[in-house]
Structure 1
């Protein structure tokens, strides 16, 4: 079958959103990263090669110096005597010529020798200059101290063990340098001097920048060429996808005719074969759907007519049963209300009886508690009387203690008076001993000791007097507190007597309430039994009404269910008719 295909706009994908662009971008990015890594590696190798060349140049400077150890030793002595010896002493002049020859290259800026012994200059490690190229003498004279930077100091210490040491880029007062140093040792392994060369940092930087520029340019050209090759290869490989995309778009518009013939055994070719197989299955499915929709339309029309007839019969039955169900429901509702009223009345009477019993029990317990409280009050009154007696005894004891404290105070005053008199006698004895001269010296010593004892006795008497005064104050406070407590205990005793009388009155009242609650409990029990009998009769009548109502509702519900079922069948038949029409319209869109 075939049908006119609706006009639709063909969709297209821009190159920047295509798979080819994405694959090319990913592959190109990876290739570019590889080129950058290779360029970086090449630059590092170039730096390492330059560093090796610098060490080799220093070795060319170092080798002749190893043959001039005697001249170095002579220079170390002569230059300390006169720093201008490099102009007149032959051995020193020979070494000076080596220094000047070393800087003949544009790459080498300075050449120098240091004394081997470290000193301190302004609190920092330093070395004495031995010799250098003559240009440096304007700033650093021979035998003058030089404080190396941290990078250079580290390289010098490294050369003592490794023979040679090199620095990275560092800067001092005279400029920016890259230095290589070595240690010069005699045949016994003793350090004779340090030798070093400063290389022109600007010259080396320009040389490395030139190599980096050349490597970067080659890497960029290689990256561009690689990107072009990757993009072309991806587009050629993905060209069959455009045919598959056009075929899929036609199938989406309803055109299932034709097939793909890609002629390739790759994954894309396999995809085309699977797509052709899928289109064939779709054509067969659509033909089968068209035939089935015709049969569904005929069956739905027949089903709709039968459902309409059954629905009318069900509506008649439902109306009759609804009337019966309504009457039975009203009767059942009335009996339920009567039953609930009787149940509530019986429950109320039961709660009254229960409350009366509980009140009777509570009255008995209250009477028992009142008796117990009365007994406890009797015991408390006896204890309070004992406390009153004890407090009165304590008051008497405190009064006696205060009297004894006053007597002790009098004795202390007497001791103080005796001490003062003794002190005066000792003073008079000392005066007499002084008058007696040499014969009264022993008596003077004794009188001095007596005066010391008198002073100590006076101090002790004063301390005892202070303590007695404090004891008297504390005793007076205790007497006042005990008097106050005695008044409180007396008041407590009077309150206990009043409470005992109240407990006796309460016990009699509780007994009367308990007798009355027993009478109420008996009457409530009789009323509760009668109400339960009436409630049982009404409950039985309500059960009969409920069963009648349930039977009527069951019949009415069955009729309603049948009516609803017929309505659903009718609606289903209508839906089937609509679906079959939609299927015919949908199938008409496809060209097979």
Structure 2
């Protein structure tokens, strides 16, 4: 019996058919022998018929257990497959035979085991993927918000850099105007110096008054120097521009005062001083133009630095000293006795104005170089800030795309979880 179970289904069927055929052949052979022997009786034929029927019954009895067991085994496999089709992989046929049906059952169990491992891995991976996607989504949203903030700050910085660049360019234009005015003042001062040299021999008196005026101008210069020290606290390029403004303001005031004195003395000289009066008037106009340019620079500095409030206080002190200088100049005018005294006194002052104008021109050139360098730096900064702003916007867009992809993966992971949850392992 154990040997019979090890046979394949095809071999078992062939064996059973062969046994039945053998019985049938024996019965037929027996009938033939009896018929040839002659004298076959009716009882004998009935006996043969009974033997055949018995043989058929024996064959049927041999085939029935086999077909019944085969049907049961195939039904178990079919039931397990139907359960698997419905999503339940827990049902197993458990057929250990070595025939075709047994191998089918064992192969099915192996397939179900592998499928259970795969589904278990898929379930675990989908859960881990869902957790990772949740964390990634939160981080992507946070990174997107930070990227938006960075882009906004970068845009504001770009606007501020452009505004600073415009102010520096305005300062450059003002300094160039002052440099041009300083060159004109220097040229006109040289002409005045030549005129004073021609008439300076006639000057002999008024030294004491001019000395007092010079001391007062020195006091004014000291106040302007204090103003320059205050402006130095503004720092950087504004400090250099403030010092230049202080020097220009002092020179403009001194030149205007000297031009006024020269005009008065020229008026007193009559026809002899008419040409000198014209030159003095031109110097006064240039001094006024320099003063106006200095005021424009002061306005630009005020818009950039808050510390100019202290400079305003120092300017007020300088104005008081200038008023005192005007009073001293009035006393000096009263002491003038002759045209020659005023011209001789003016000669040294005009020479100082010429030197100061040349110094102002050189200082303006230095300031122009410094401000130009600052403008180039500001331009580079503005360009870099714009590049940062554009990169921040691109990063924000990329993060938004990542967030969308994460949401799609989250939906896919959830759908995969729903599909695997329907399967019973």
Instruction: Give the shorter-chain TM-score range.
Output: under 0.3
TM-score by length of 1: 0.20
Higher relative contact order (CA 8 A, sep 6+): 2
TM-score, normalised to structure 2's length? 0.26
The structure richer in strand per residue is: 1
Work out which of the two has the higher radius of gyration on C-alpha atoms and give 1 or 2. 1
Structure having the higher helix fraction is 2
